[in-house]
Amino acid sequence: MADTFEIEEGADAPEHDTGDDHHVVHESTGIDNRKLGMWVFLSSEFMFFGAFISNYLLYGNRDFDSVVPRDIYDIPFTSISSFVLLMSSLTMVLAHHALSTGDQNGTKTWLMATALLGSVFLGGQVFEFYEFITVKDMTLTSNPAASAFYMLTGFHGAHVAIGILMLLSLFGITRRQGGLSEKHGMNLELVGLYWHFVDIIWIVIFTIVYLLGAA
């Protein structure tokens, strides 16, 4: 449950200070509290996925009586969905760039594109699971390798889903004119950090679990 909290919280920024008392809320490192908090959180997430990946490495190459993931990977299919997710990182960067140039409409468009690409990836994963379970007859409980595969990719998928929700919640902020530009666009930046992280983790998973793991 390391992923149950959202980035909307912790809105503390130096520019809040009203100047009506002598208390200067300064950030000793010069990095926004929320941004630092997100970095710290993501470093913890690395350990989270690291543990799941190690778990897969332990079981993924063992032999069992039932179907194991390495025998049934559809590498071309997953390559395409991986490429889609990779592209969503690009659109995220473009959204960020549009915001920094004051292009609100461009920001919205790119954000929507990011959420869409994320959804396509997620749809691909749902399809992959469906095919593995019904056609290839490999379920969560078939063997430890299958369990490890579903847990790892499933938890990653959950992270992507949360990321999509976060992207969509940004549209709530855009109701107000210039809403996304508040706090130097920190809301968007935080979602972006998280999104890139989820992408990077997928690259690792795709490489280690799929490409190197395939029989």
CB of 33 to other proteins, least distance (A): 5
CB of 208 to other proteins, least distance (A): 16
CB of 83 to other proteins, least distance (A): 28
Q: In this complex, which beta carbon is closest to other proteins, that of residue 135 or of residue 175?
A: 175
Q: In this complex, which beta carbon is closest to other proteins, that of residue 79 or of residue 134?
A: 134
Q: In this complex, which beta carbon is closest to other proteins, that of residue 103 or of residue 182?
A: 182
* CA distance linking residue 24 with residue 49, whole number of Å: 39
Rg (CA), the chain: 20
* CA distance linking residue 127 with residue 185, whole number of Å: 35
For residue 89, what are the contacts with CB-CB under 8 A and spacing of at least 6? 195, 196, 199
Residues that bind other proteins (CB under 8 A): 1-2, 4-6, 8-13, 15-18, 20-29, 31, 33, 36-37, 40-41, 43-45, 47-48, 50-52, 55, 58-59, 62, 64, 140-141, 143-144, 147-148, 151, 155, 169, 172, 176, 178-179, 182-183
Phi and psi at residue 49, to the nearest 5°: -70, -30
Q: In this complex, which beta carbon is closest to other proteins, that of residue 21 or of residue 76?
A: 21
Q: How many CB atoms lie within 10 A of CB 128?
A: 18
Q: In this complex, which beta carbon is closest to other proteins, that of residue 32 or of residue 124?
A: 32
CB of 11 to other proteins, least distance (A): 5
Structure-token match 């399809």, residue found: 127
Q: How many CB atoms lie within 10 A of CB 187?
A: 24
Q: In this complex, which beta carbon is closest to other proteins, that of residue 37 or of residue 106?
A: 37
Structure tokens at 67: 């179907």
CB of 102 to other proteins, least distance (A): 15
Cα 189 off chain centre by: 13
CB of 77 to other proteins, least distance (A): 25
Q: Give how far Cα 142 sits from Cα of 7, 65, 67, 146, 158, Å.
A: 37, 9, 7, 6, 22
Structure-token match 């503390």, residue found: 12
